[in-house]
Structure 1
């Protein structure tokens, strides 16, 4: 998967994702793997009818697909479409609603990421010490121009891709978050 080209999402697909529950469903399938609408409903505190509807909308726009290996006549399993998805350009499109959709999607992803870290922090006492020692948190204050920030981001994402799909004895799902953004000076904000 490391060599896979990112699939660029257009404005209409971005708008389709721009719903809080759809972002959460997409994120759940990305982090935890295939699930049924009922399982997602239980994890997200929603009705299975609601998660089923939103899964079909995500499927229509190429974010998720039915997992034929797991389904049977009664239960439909859903999985995230593999490979990187990029919607940055669509989020800055000048068409009506594009910027708002991009902002909503980005806010929801930030909320999901922050919640996952808070869940880890609350539950860390139950983890083996080897995982506590492996935990990584940090930040770096750098001085970069826009091209350098974009270059840095490309290198970080390439490194993530090197590790995607690996599994070894003792491995578990790990959430790695990266954010690179210009610091807004007090007088700018």
Structure 2
């Protein structure tokens, strides 16, 4: 059952079992495809990932076992099941789980795979835009970065404001369909810079 679009879903903090289930490169990739492009079958995920449908089917069942994904009600057949990622934001960092070596390792795998995939998408967009520069100027996209000097309290306040912008946009546009509607990636990075090494 899909939640009404006007009711924001609370953030789900993944428990140890869900984190361990997700901590596999192919599972992170499949989970992110479901997040970005909506419902898929094992066959369509196989085409998108270059894996066999047997492998994607196996990994879909592992994700579903921990409620990371669910079967789409009323769609598909016994042979061709459709899967979706439930609505709402998900936190891959669980303070209780991070106290254990296995919890930290699972979180590291998930975050590394997820951010690597998103970075590859950004770099592919930049590369394609440079090949066709007229598209770069016409695109409704922003790639911007700045360095600011703030206190920890100011950084927390800014993080809350940015998170609200992302959450509001997600609640408003996640399920939008129609002519001209395409998936966009909306990403915010805010973190203290490490000291420069000599």
TM-score by length of 1: 0.87
State how many pairs are aligned: 188
1:91 and 1:44 map into 2 onto residues whose CA distance is 33
Between 147-156 and 69-78, report the one with greater CA deviation: 147-156
* Alignment partner, residue 140 of structure 1: 146
1:56 and 1:129 map into 2 onto residues whose CA distance is 40
8 Å Cα contact 1:14-1:90 kept in structure 2:
no
2:109 and 2:18 map into 1 onto residues whose CA distance is 13
TM-score by length of 2: 0.84
* Alignment partner, residue 175 of structure 1: 185
Q: Aligned pair 1:39/2:39, yes or no?
A: no
- C-alpha RMSD of matched pairs (Å): 2.5
Which residue, out of 89, 95, 100, partners 2:100?
Answer: 95
* Alignment partner, residue 157 of structure 2: 151
Q: CA deviation at 1:118?
A: 2.4
2:82 and 2:137 map into 1 onto residues whose CA distance is 30
1:118 and 1:105 map into 2 onto residues whose CA distance is 20
1:169 and 1:131 map into 2 onto residues whose CA distance is 22
* Alignment partner, residue 82 of structure 2: 77
* Alignment partner, residue 120 of structure 1: 125
Structure 1 pair 136–154 and aligned structure 2 pair: CA distance change class (3 A): same
Q: CA deviation at 1:131?
A: 7.7
Which residue, out of 18, 27, 46, partners 1:22?
Answer: 27
Displacement over 3 Å in runs of 4+: 122-133
Q: CA deviation at 1:109?
A: 0.8
* Alignment partner, residue 55 of structure 2: 50
